[in-house]
Structure 1
Amino acid sequence: MAFADGVRRASRWQDAVRLLLLIDASVQPIPTGLDAPDEAVGVARTQVRLQKLDFWLRYPDYLAYELMNEYEAHRDDIGLLDLAEEILGSEEPDLRRFPMLRHRFGAFEELDEALAPLVEKGLVRKTQILGTNRVAEHLYFLLQLGRQVAGDLTSEAPALEWYVTRTKQLVALVDGLGGTQLKNRQYLLKDYAETLIGQHIAPITDQARERLARLRAVSPAALSAPTVEETS
């Protein structure tokens, strides 16, 4: 969906579905002592982490770049490079991109509007842990009906299988990392970090494809240690 300003935006339904599948893929078992709804089957912790995951889902070229970062850090996992090539060799970077604005702490978009239909339908429950002067943490509980709906979506709309696959791959890529760690990793790319506040973050598809070609041109044994030359 495109608007008068030329920026492609998702519909409310698309945002809600994407967020449901992302929460379904990223929830963890509910720890003992955490006050959770009786029908909850898992919890996704922190708003920052969910937003940073959503950024990579909405910018496949940035996800491919992160896969290449991981490949250079773990040179024995050629699958990371294969997945980056799968993304960059297709129309995915254009077809799946839904731009986000650069805010004070990086890519940001309020989640409440996308969450609203999920909460209304009893699929997700959002709660907060309060600190002394502000909210210390946002919690997103996936409810039993939410898991059921997430599992049924692809049979009703097979095109959504892409989101199921990518959300699982994305969560596996960043397993164990918190929101602040993900934010810091995204800031390593100069194009992202230097986007002016209030501007949409631009794609890096050509840059990512050039890097992929360089990595494919050398053997794994010849790869140098990971660099972040883009930040220099």
Structure 2
Amino acid sequence: MVTSAAVRRATRWQDSVRLLLLIDAAAGPIADGEWVPPSTVGVVHTQVRLQKLDFWVRNPDYLAYELMNEYVATPDVPRLLELAAEILGSEEPDLRRFPMLRYKYGAFEELDDALAPLVERGLLRKTQLLGRERVVEHIYFLLERGRQVAKSMVAEAPALAWYVERTRLVVDLVDGLGGTQLKDRQYLLRDYADTPWGQHIGAITEQARERLRELQAALGPGATGNSDKEAS
């Protein structure tokens, strides 16, 4: 568990940029007959899915652990293990980490403040589907201007390329899965599931590095193309 004094927070600008790039990566095609605002180029369905994708972008150690899970399921794709080793062998788990709270549906953070500038500038639109007693779905529409701005930002600020690469990696890793499926996958890790409601989900960097060492040892020396120091 992460205490409030230890929590590292992103600025509103950082949150807005990260979410724009994540929505740009995650936005799927418009379904036949689906209502969308003018100039929509892609759609992200459900806040749960967006929150769970954002959790892996903001917590590289958890992403590395998930890459290892995928590697165990598909050992004929060694690149998955190599990516996990690259993440865990760098300072990324510390430098890129922005913890999230755990609530009923897992990792959560209010999105309205970060999304508001994007909506105000005509980059995104969002709406809600209402049930009889509550909101049943949040929908996020990426507008043409939003896609253009996402591309121009990276061209003007090359340091943002990391977010482009990372958001695409996260989206590709769970291509086709909905929010509930992502929530269930994240709950498989006890450190995540056992975090009390309203508390920040703690890091698992050392746990992930230990698992990486075990997987690399099972392959034998030099099998992954990564040195042992990457997991140290």
Deviation for aligned residue 1:96: 0.4
Deviations 1:32-91 (A, max 9, x none): 211101111010110000000000100000000000000001110101001101100111
Q: Distance in 2 between matches of 1:29 and 1:80?
A: 27
Q: Distance in 1 between matches of 2:196 and 2:130?
A: 31
- Provide structure 1 residue ranges, at least 5 long, that are not aligned to the other structure: 221-232
The equivalent residue for 1:87 is: 87
Deviation for aligned residue 1:134: 2.2
Deviations 1:135-160 (A, max 9, x none): 22111000011000001111111111
Identity %: 70
The equivalent residue for 1:20 is: 20
Q: Distance in 1 between matches of 2:79 and 2:169?
A: 11
**TM-score, length of structure 2 as denominator length:** 0.91
Q: Distance in 1 between matches of 2:198 and 2:169?
A: 30
The equivalent residue for 2:178 is: 178
Q: Distance in 1 between matches of 2:19 and 2:128?
A: 18
Counterparts of 1:193-208 in structure 2 under 5 Å? Answer: 193-208=193-208
Say which SS state the counterpart of residue 126 (structure 1) adopts: strand
The answer to whether the 8 Å contact 2:23/2:142 transfers is: yes
Counterparts of 1:140-219 in structure 2 under 5 Å? Answer: 140-219=140-219
The answer to whether the 8 Å contact 2:122/2:146 transfers is: yes
Say which SS state the counterpart of residue 176 (structure 1) adopts: coil
The equivalent residue for 1:75 is: 75
Say which SS state the counterpart of residue 33 (structure 1) adopts: coil
The equivalent residue for 1:132 is: 132
Q: Distance in 2 between matches of 1:199 and 1:131?
A: 29
Q: Distance in 1 between matches of 2:7 and 2:46?
A: 28
**Does 172-181 or 195-204 show the bigger shift?**
195-204
**Does 130-139 or 96-105 show the bigger shift?**
130-139
Q: Distance in 2 between matches of 1:61 and 1:24?
A: 23
Which of the pair has the greater relative contact order for Cα pairs under 8 Å at 6+ separation? 2
Q: Distance in 1 between matches of 2:183 and 2:129?
A: 21
Deviations 1:100-140 (A, max 9, x none): 11112211101111100000000000012223332221110
Q: Distance in 1 between matches of 2:122 and 2:38?
A: 12
Say which SS state the counterpart of residue 5 (structure 2) adopts: coil
The equivalent residue for 2:225 is: none
Q: Distance in 2 between matches of 1:104 and 1:23?
A: 23
Q: Distance in 2 between matches of 1:211 and 1:154?
A: 34
- Provide structure 2 residue ranges, at least 5 long, that are not aligned to the other structure: 221-232
The answer to whether the 8 Å contact 2:27/2:42 transfers is: yes
Q: Distance in 2 between matches of 1:28 and 1:104?
A: 26
Number of residue-to-residue matches in the alignment: 217
Which letter maps to 1:135?
V
RMSD: 1.2
The answer to whether the 8 Å contact 2:48/2:105 transfers is: no
The equivalent residue for 1:46 is: 46
Say which SS state the counterpart of residue 43 (structure 1) adopts: strand
